[in-house]
Amino acid sequence: MKIVVTGGAGFIGSNFVHFQVEHHPEDQIVVLDKLTYAGNLPNIQTLIDDGKIRFVQGDIADYDFVEQFFATEKPDAVINFAAETHVDRSILEPDIFVKTNIVGTHNLLMASRAHGVKRFHQVSTDEVYGDLGDGSSDLFTEETPFAPNCPYAAAKAAADMLIRAYVQTYRFPATVSHCSNNYGPYQFTEKLIPYFFRAASEGNPLPIYGDGKNVRDWLYVTDHCRALDMILRSEKIGEVYNIGGNTERNNLQIAELILNFLGKDPQMIRFVEDRQAHDRRYAIDASKIRRELGWEPQVKFEDGIKMTFQWYHDHQDWVKATEDRLLNFIKEKQP
C-alpha cells in the first residue's frame, strides 16, 4: 500500500511515520509537509537517508500543487496530520488556521476523490467538542455535539464536517478520529510538556494559566499511532472514533511532575493571567474503538511520562534546535 502522510514531519505525524516503517516495512510512505516553524525534518531525516520513506515539501492549501502531487504519486491511502494546532496562536492569527485546517483539508479531499484514493483518514482533536466544565464527570463520545470555543478547534470542526459531507454525498471512503492530548518524543517546544521541561531545565519559571486546574486527558503518542493504524487498515468507512488515554491530569500536576523529575524547586511555578476561551476539562470515552477494533492504550501514564522526560533530557541538541526555530519564527512575526 502506498500511503501519503501529510504533516509527517510534525509531532504526531513523524511518530506515525516511524510506527509505519517499523510495523509495515512493505508499504511505501510518502511524507508531504510544508515545513512551517513546527514542521521539523530532523524528526524523520534518518528514514529519508535510509531510503525507507520519501519526502516532498509542499502546502496543502495550494490546490494546484496538491492536484499535481496526487496525479504524480497516485496514493492508495492518505492520513492527514497537516494542521495549525497551537491554540494561543489561533487566537492571534485565526486566518492561518482557516486556510490550512479547512481549505487545506478540502483540497486533499478533492484531490483524493479525483485520483481514486481508497482510504482517507482525518486526524482531529477532542477540542471540537468544547468544554465539559468544572465538576463534571461526563465524557466526550462520538455523539457529543460540536461546540468549539477557539479558532483552532472551530477550524478542525469545520474540516471534520467537510469529511462527513463527502462521505454522505459522494460515499467517499473516509474516517475521522478525535484524540486527547498527546505526549512523547518529537513534540514541538511551544506545547505544554516540552515547554515546561525546557523552562525548568534552564532554571526559568513555569508560567501556568489561571489556577492551573484545567484538566486534559493524556495519551502516549505511540498508543495514538497504533490506533490510527488500526483505523486506516480496517474496513470501516464513514466512522468516527475517539482515542483517549483515560488519564486525566491538570496543568499544575504536569508542572509538578516535571519539576520533581528534574529535582527542581516547586516555587518555580508562576501563575499568569488565563488565556481567552481556555476550556476547563476534556475527557474522552474511547469505548467505541475498544469495542469495534480492539484497541487499548498500552503505555501507562506513569511510564510514558518518564520515557518522555528522559527523551527530552537525552536529546538536548534537538530541543535547542527546535527552540531556535521557534524564536526565529517569533522574531519574523514582530513588526
pLDDT tens for each residue of 23-65: 999 999 999 999 987 889 999 999 999 999 999 999 999 999 9
Examine residue 244 and state whether it is found in any structural domain, yes or no: yes
Active-site residue, selected from the candidate residues 73, 84, 126, 190? 126
Number of domains composing the chain: 1
The set of cell numbers assigned to 94 is 485565526
Angle at Cα 236 formed by Cα 288 and Cα 292, nearest 5°? 30
pLDDT digits (tens, 9 = 90+) for 78-103: 999 999 887 887 888 899 999 999 99
User: Confidence band (pLDDT; 50, 70, 90) for 189?
Assistant: confident
pLDDT digits (tens, 9 = 90+) for 149-166: 999 999 999 999 999 999
Active-site residue, selected from the candidate residues 33, 59, 84, 127? 127
C-beta separation of 269 from 255 below 8 A:
yes
Residue of 158 and 134 predicted with greater confidence = 158
Active site includes 126? yes
Examine residue 114 and state whether it is found in any structural domain, yes or no: yes
The set of cell numbers assigned to 296 is 487499548
Q: Which domain holds residue 146?
A: 2-185+221-248+277-301
pLDDT at 175 over 90: yes
Evaluate if pTM is beyond 0.75: yes
Cα distances from 267 to residues 104, 112, 204, 262, 316, in angstroms, run 44, 52, 11, 13, 24
Give the mean pLDDT of the chain.
94
Rounded (10°) angle between helices 192-201 and 251-262: 40
Examine residue 306 and state whether it is found in any structural domain, yes or no: no
pLDDT value of position 90: 85
Count of residues in the chain: 335
pLDDT value of position 321: 84
Active-site residue, selected from the candidate residues 59, 73, 131, 152? 152
The set of cell numbers assigned to 55 is 519526502
pLDDT at 329 over 70: no
Examine residue 263 and state whether it is found in any structural domain, yes or no: no
- Residue (of 52, 60, 70) closest to 33 by Cα position: 60
Examine residue 296 and state whether it is found in any structural domain, yes or no: yes
Examine residue 72 and state whether it is found in any structural domain, yes or no: yes
Distance CA(11)–CA(294), nearest Å, equals 25
pLDDT value of position 316: 87
Sign of CA dihedral 202, 194, 279, 89: positive
Active site includes 93? no
Examine residue 7 and state whether it is found in any structural domain, yes or no: yes
Strand bridging mode 248-250 / 215-220:
antiparallel
pLDDT at 332 over 80: no
Whichever domain contains 296, its CATH number is 3.40.50.720
Angle at Cα 80 formed by Cα 151 and Cα 56, nearest 5°? 115
DSSP element (H, E) containing 56: strand 54-57
Examine residue 40 and state whether it is found in any structural domain, yes or no: yes
Active site includes 127? yes
The set of cell numbers assigned to 239 is 466512522
Helix (H, G, I), strand (E, B) or coil at 27: coil
